[in-house]
Amino acid sequence: MHDPAGLHIRPAAAVAQAAAAYASDVRFCYGGREVDGKSVLDLLTLGAAPGTTVELVVIGADAEEAADHIARVWHEVLGASPGSANDEL
């Protein structure tokens, strides 16, 4: 979680959209709470503070591919460490 502004609606929508493309169950965990990664509202209520780490849990048939893709989208829209992949969504 690098974006100083926190997880606001535009990045949350991008992450949720990426997650919704997969059959697997996508969860984000932070501070002892767990939310549905396919829901923008859930992501907004995660309350992850800038500079902290959020855990991504994906369970299902396409889990591996899903986890890779969602993590990449997350890094892109929330401005992860410089030099990270800058591919298209």
Partner 1 sequence: MNKQMRVLRGIPVSPGVTIGPAMILDVTGLRIPPRRVSEAEVDRELERFRQAVEAAVHEVNRQKELVTAKLGPESASIFAAHIVMLRDPGFSNRVERLIRDERYTAEYAVSHTIQRFIEVLQQLKTPLTSRVGDLRDIGNELLRHLIGSQRQELKHLEQPVVILAADLSPAETARLDTSRVLGFATELGGRTSHTAIVAGSLEIPAVVGVEGLLAHVLPGDQVIIDGNQGVVVINPDQPTLERYERALRRFKLFTESLATLRSLPAETKDGTRIALLGNIEFPREVHYSLRQGAEGIGLYRTEFLFLERDTPPTEEDHYEAYCEVIRAVGGRPVVIRTLDLGADKLPGSTDEQRERNPFLGLRSIRLCLRRLELFKTQLRAILRASMEGPVSLMFPMVSTLLELRQAKLVLAEVMEDLAEQGVPYRRDIKVGIMVEVPSTAIMADYYAREVDFFSLGTNDLTQYVLAVDRGNEKVANLYSPVDPAVLRLIRRTIIVSRRRGIPINICGEMCGDPLYTMLLIGLGVRSMSAAPHSLPELKQTIRSVSVEECEKITRRVMLMENARDVEAYLRGIAREKLPELFE
Which listed range, 1-9, 51-59, 62-70, 81-89, lies at the site for partner 1 (CB under 8 A)? 1-9
Contact (Cβ atoms closer than 8 angstroms) between residue 71 and residue 86: no
d(CA 55, CA 77): 16
- As measured in angstroms, the least distance from the Cβ of 73 to partner 1 is 16
- Write the interaction track for partner 1 spanning residues 16-55; mark x where CB under 8 A is met and - where it is not: x---x--------------xx-xxxxx-xx-x-x------
d(CA 28, CA 57): 6
Task: Dig out the tokens for 24 from the structure.
Answer: 């697997």
Contact (Cβ atoms closer than 8 angstroms) between residue 11 and residue 58: no
Which listed range, 8-16, 52-60, 63-71, 80-88, lies at the site for partner 1 (CB under 8 A)? 8-16
Contact residues for partner 1, defined by CB under 8 A: 4-9, 13, 16, 20, 35-36, 38-42, 44-45, 47, 49
